[in-house]
Amino acid sequence: MEDEKQLLKDKAFLLLRRERELNAMRVKHERLGSWLRLTQSLPALIAAEPGLDRVCGSLRRALLAGLGTQRVTFFLVEEASLQALGLTPAPPVSLSPAGAALVGQTRSGVCNARGTDPALGALCDAVGLERFIWTRIETHQGRTPPLLLVAGYARDKAGFQPPFGDDEAAHLENMGQHIAVLLRNKDLVSELERDKARLQTFNEDLEHRVAERTKELARVNESMARALASLEDKDRRLDEDLREARHFQQSILAGLPQRSPIAFEAVFRPLDVVGGDVYDVCEILPGVFRAFMADATGHGVQASLRTIVLKSEYDRLKTVYQSPRALLDAFNERLCAMFPRAEMLSTGCCFDVDLRDPAAPKLRYANAAHPPLLHVSAGRVREIDCDGTMLGVPSQGHGEGIEIALHPGDLLIVASDGVWDQVGGAAEGFDLARVVGVAADGAGAPSTVLTAVLDEMDRFRGDQAIADDITVLSARLADDLRSPSVVAARRELAV
């Protein structure tokens, strides 16, 4: 009998426990249904109200009815304070640094008891609740302050309510994210409507302006057509003048000596149709060859005009003076006298190759701020340079010339700064001396060396533009210097 009573008692406890579990499941199901219904109602609630304060008021009332909590409040988070929205206007509530850090760094949370956490206690005091769930809502991608959504119970009610679980906090966080998306979409729709209105106004204004300017454009087109025809005619004449100037500039570059013990080659590539470089090679005495190069400042037409003057004045003096240094000094004095305001500013160099004694050929060299002369002998490349001021500038003191011994087969190269200063793709300068050494090592004729040097320069610069006019002049001594012209010169000196 006692066993039956105990069995009935156990069954009763089991039924009671099952009833409690079913009741808990029913409450949970109803709460889930409330969350779902609230979520489904959000779009209509947010779309119906203008302004964030009105939207928060409608959301607060709906969430209060749906969640069954004592309070639901939206707060605008501004630095270290909270401002309630959707309620009777109230002054902002200050947040302690710990509370502000909690709201700023945590998206959502649960507070069932403030405990010993100072940040959680500060948040409790600020929102006026003791047991609550909360989430932060980013309203418009950082362009406006975020919102803080709080739902829960004050201290007088908190002790009679079950604690909030993590699932309810997750539901509230998901709802907050949904609200954030809806608020952003609403703002975007408002912006689109404003943009649409502005665009419509702009289109109407544009159509009006187009109608007003159509006739004006027709008149302008006629005027432009006449101006274009005039410009094309001027451009045609200018192009013809430039081609004529190029032809003239080419003609003033004297031909190089032929059938001599020295093989001369030259390359002239102006940056524009015409350029500011000029060179000259002549035999000033039997067996004495003189080479000259100058680079006027600038390039294009203005520089080409200077080269005409430079070449003309140089031709007057090139056979008068015995040494290159004396020639450059006299040349500079004449330019300064003719153009005292430095209109003929340029660099230049001059060198003589003296073959009157085939057993002891000599180089005499003078410089006027020009890049150095390259001397290739026995596979070795030397840079030969000496002091000298620019041409066209009054000089207080003259530089010194250089005289060195040459050998059969030696190669001499001078180039304008357009070659020396060329920059490559890596912003490094072109190493002309190295390239000349490599090209001269495997080349026989000067033209082959110059072709190899300029091909290497084009490869080196890549996509970099050529910055200045390019002129290169080379002279290679014959392997046998006992040529008829040298013999004739020796006979003349003997007489």
Q: Which two tokens stand for residue 55?
A: 């939207």
Could you give the C-alpha distances from 140 to 56, 146, 181, 407, in angstroms and in order? 15, 8, 9, 84
CA–CA separation, 131 and 128 (whole Å): 10
Give the tens place of pLDDT for each residue, 61-106.
888 888 888 899 898 888 788 888 887 777 888 888 888 888 888 8
Relative orientation angle of helices 97-105 and 118-127, to the nearest 10 degrees: 90
Q: Of 293, 254, 352, which Cα lies nearest the Cα of 470? A: 293
Decide yes or no: CATH 3.30.930.10 for domain 253-494: no
Domain spans in the chain, listed from the N-terminal domain onward: 12-189, 253-494
Q: What residues have CB less than 8 Å from 117, skipping those under 6 apart? A: none
Instruction: List the pLDDT tens digit at each of the 495 positions of the chain.
Output: 677 777 777 777 777 777 766 765 665 666 666 677 777 777 877 777 788 888 888 888 888 888 888 899 898 888 788 888 887 777 888 888 888 888 888 889 999 988 878 888 888 988 889 999 999 988 765 567 888 899 999 988 888 888 888 888 888 888 888 888 888 888 888 888 888 999 898 888 888 888 888 888 888 888 888 888 888 877 777 667 556 656 666 666 767 888 789 999 999 888 887 888 899 999 999 999 999 999 998 777 788 888 888 888 999 999 999 999 999 999 999 999 999 888 889 999 999 999 999 899 999 999 999 999 999 998 899 999 988 889 999 876 656 789 999 999 999 999 998 888 888 877 788 888 888 888 877 655 677 888 888 888 889 888 888 878 889 999 999 888 775 555 554 444 334
Q: Which two tokens stand for residue 311?
A: 């070449």
The CB density around residue 218, as the number of other CB atoms within 10 Å, is 10
Question: Rounded to a whole number, what is the distance in angstroms from the first to the last CA of the chain?
Answer: 164
Q: Of 113, 125, 52, 50, which Cα lies nearest the Cα of 82? A: 125
Q: What share of the chain is helix, strand, coil (3-state, %, to 5)?
A: 50, 20, 30
What's the count of helices (H) and strands (E) in the chain, helices before strands?
12, 16
Q: Of 392, 395, 464, which Cα lies nearest the Cα of 428? A: 464
Is pTM beyond 0.75? Reply is no
Q: What residues have CB less than 8 Å from 169, skipping those under 6 apart? A: 108, 109, 110, 133, 135
Sheet holding 402-405, edge to edge: 277-285, 288-296, 346-354, 362-368, 402-405
> What three-state secondary structure class fits 408?
coil
Sheet holding 470-477, edge to edge: 262-269, 470-477, 411-415, 373-377, 380-384
Give the tens place of pLDDT for each residue, 201-246.
888 888 888 888 888 888 888 888 888 888 887 777 766 755 665 6
Burial (CB < 10 A; 0-12, 13-18, 19+), residue 122, is buried
CB 306 within 8 A of CB 346: yes
CA–CA separation, 415 and 180 (whole Å): 72
Q: What residues have CB less than 8 Å from 415, skipping those under 6 apart? A: 371, 374, 432, 470, 471, 472, 473
The CB density around residue 326, as the number of other CB atoms within 10 Å, is 16
Decide yes or no: CATH 3.30.450.40 for domain 12-189: yes
> What three-state secondary structure class fits 77?
strand
